[in-house]
Structure 1
């Protein structure tokens, strides 16, 4: 890293206070936020060092939720030491293998079933030692949906807010009501194949600092209708049914809830997440200078178009996405 990078110089000094030998952190990645990740190797042991500017992404939520998840048996990185004022953490190293990189049609069911089972434990974490997790309420849901309006439709495509509102207001109301109807559980909130690591053929969970209390289908649809890869509907439906039976058995869903009701919740929850994600990908480009995520917008919008078309109350919205938004996004490439 360049010597002109003051954050790196602070990080380097901090991590060298921990080890008795001199170490030099090597950058391995940034992510969709303002965090950066470095690796240091001491003898035969590898560690991850996190640089998370405290005014932009405070590390306290990560540390608190990591403790709660670990106590509940959820495999997460161990926080070895931290400095909340500077925004630095030293973590155990879970390796470089994202689940996304190893998935294929032959192992899809095996790994996704394991990932779905982890959601039973995640669902039970509804508080840290310090406070209950935030509630994913109507205001929260609409704030996320409006990221699509502000950053993709208006900022990126140049549509007017009034035009967008005329097409989205009713759909957003349906999606908000869908969240309210579902049983509420502990929710990772970004549970997909890039946030699940594979280490010694075991799944490990990362990027959980935004955990909230929210609808029972949210994390499952995040996983099975991933913004970064799309699987055949037969595979998704089979795994959806597995999760439905799983949450009933775990008493996270009342036995009287039919599979068709669960599937509606699942589908509409996925729509809310994908609409939000498309907006976030545009925001990452324009606000944060991270253009690579723009390539993920078309797949995300295709999910929105296809799933919304299955529900009469969302058919007009689906047509607008398919006939106006997707062509406009592709034309902007």
Structure 2
């Protein structure tokens, strides 16, 4: 038996991505969907596959030429789209006089194509369409195992409406119902066959793993679940699409979406960063590269099981739902947990810098004075002072006064690994051990910044005495790992704490006002109080200090 894969569509519902990548080359679990379907045809025992092409056909032809699928593959370019039926008629010479399979390229499924071929041979008929109950697409009328029509309304009580999976086994009789050389729908041909008294059978499946990837929503869901199967496989867990249970998790300040994926009593967490929009390094790339690097250095971060660069899905070890902010509310646990965190943080700062490649970063390679002016001091002035408090100030009146402090904070010392958002919601606790997450913004910079982020964290509201104790503890661990001038370290620490304070207020304002996440606004009073207490730094910036006092 031979097979045809319909791959000539324009992919208009997936614009603008399909302007550069044809839909059949969209990957799931690391392989283009077209390749997956060709391999499925080979597993079904097909001795040849024909693929019709139109949009960006050169790219698909190149892909087919570069890969060995263990089966003969023929590509046929359609200068003018012939629709599904016209495409089939256009390659009738490929099939000869035997029945053949026809499959849509834009579906992701584990339906056994050999079972479809066997069903068609054993049941007879001019064609067999594989159906399932999928309310969004239900449009096929079935009576006694035979298809009697498409999209008939109203539907008689004894008729059942089902959805066509895009998989079919067809006899050469179909060619008599498709005109030559013009666009023509295969559904129209089936309707004509039924009208002429030919039997078009229904092979109805109960909840198969099946996704239509013709839309962004459909493609992302197909990629999420197929990637999860691959991720479980990397961890030695054999799971199919029908074994999965997917639960959406609550996110935090970012735009990423999070899911817990379970199979056979095991679980992973999937971070959905969104589909790739260009060739440059993006957030998902950074998450994967930096997370992989940190794990190799021994840092307590989740193991990454699988990454699909095109879809932006990263599958990681499930660390549960308890973060440091929640865990530390238990009085006896707080001190022990924070002591472990500062020890691990010191080690990650030093060891994470060893072998760190700044090409992995997706924002800036280093935390430097320019970043401070833009994303911390500037962010504070734009989002908090003007955006939230409506002061209407000109940032250029204040930034020159802050620039020398930014230079002091970031120059004159070796660069360490910098997480950039080291706060209690980004530290998970599992089995009494802390783990760092959300490391995708990592770069090189002063180690004091992450420490300051942890200690002045408004979510945790650590007492000044506890902050001082943890600062001493960190300095002790840090000095065993690298050479430290304690006086210089503390000087830069207070500068980093000041700028982190500005960043936090800018972020709280932006997230609550622009992103409409009101929960962040409740942390503003504490963060603003913390900023106003930074007298040693504010005393060096009289104009900016006056602005802060007015807030």
TM class, shorter-length:
0.7 to 0.9
> CA contact under 8 A between 2:538 and 2:544: conserved in structure 1?
no
User: Structure 1 9/258 Cα, relative in aligned 2: closer, same or farther at 3 Å?
Assistant: same
Residue 231 of structure 1: how far off its partner (Å): 1.7
Separation in structure 1 between the aligned mates of residue 386 and residue 545 of structure 2, nearest angstrom: 18
Aligned counterpart for 1:77 among listed residues 302, 307, 313 = 302
Residue 285 of structure 1: how far off its partner (Å): 2.8
1:169-220, CA deviations, whole angstroms, 9 ceiling, x for partnerless residues? 4235323422224442111111121111011111111000000111121111
Give the structure 1 partner of residue 366 of structure 2: 135
Give the structure 2 partner of residue 232 of structure 1: 463
Aligned counterpart for 1:107 among listed residues 327, 333, 348 = 333
Gaps of 5+ in 1: 326-333
Separation in structure 1 between the aligned mates of residue 382 and residue 543 of structure 2, nearest angstrom: 20
Separation in structure 2 between the aligned mates of residue 299 and residue 288 of structure 1, nearest angstrom: 21
Report the secondary structure of 1:249's partner residue. helix
User: Which sits farther off after the overlay, 107-116 or 61-70?
Assistant: 107-116
Give the structure 2 partner of residue 97 of structure 1: 322
Residue 264 of structure 1: how far off its partner (Å): 2.5
Aligned counterpart for 2:346 among listed residues 120, 131, 135 = 120
Aligned counterpart for 2:258 among listed residues 17, 30, 37 = 37
Residue 271 of structure 1: how far off its partner (Å): 0.8
Matched, 1:246 2:477: yes
Separation in structure 2 between the aligned mates of residue 149 and residue 76 of structure 1, nearest angstrom: 34
Residue 139 of structure 1: how far off its partner (Å): 1.1
Aligned counterpart for 1:27 among listed residues 245, 248, 259 = 248
1:261-272 to 2 correspondence within 5 Å?
A: 261-272=488-499
Q: State the structure with bigger RCO (CA 8 A, min sep 6), 1 or 2.
A: 1
How many equivalent residue pairs? Answer: 315
> CA contact under 8 A between 1:271 and 1:303: conserved in structure 2?
no
Which structure's CA Rg is the greater one? 2
> CA contact under 8 A between 2:369 and 2:406: conserved in structure 1?
no
Separation in structure 1 between the aligned mates of residue 356 and residue 447 of structure 2, nearest angstrom: 19
> CA contact under 8 A between 1:72 and 1:121: conserved in structure 2?
no
**TM-score, normalisation: structure 1:** 0.86
> CA contact under 8 A between 2:286 and 2:360: conserved in structure 1?
no
Give the structure 1 partner of residue 423 of structure 2: 192
Give the structure 2 partner of residue 150 of structure 1: 382
1:40-80, CA deviations, whole angstroms, 9 ceiling, x for partnerless residues? 21111011122111458631000001110110111222222
Aligned counterpart for 1:284 among listed residues 511, 519, 525 = 511
User: Which sits farther off after the overlay, 105-114 or 134-143?
Assistant: 105-114
Separation in structure 1 between the aligned mates of residue 537 and residue 289 of structure 2, nearest angstrom: 40
Which is helix-richer, 1 or 2?
1
Report the secondary structure of 1:82's partner residue. strand
Separation in structure 2 between the aligned mates of residue 160 and residue 130 of structure 1, nearest angstrom: 37
Report the secondary structure of 1:107's partner residue. helix
**TM-score, normalisation: structure 2:** 0.53
Aligned counterpart for 2:411 among listed residues 175, 180, 195 = 180
Separation in structure 2 between the aligned mates of residue 305 and residue 114 of structure 1, nearest angstrom: 30
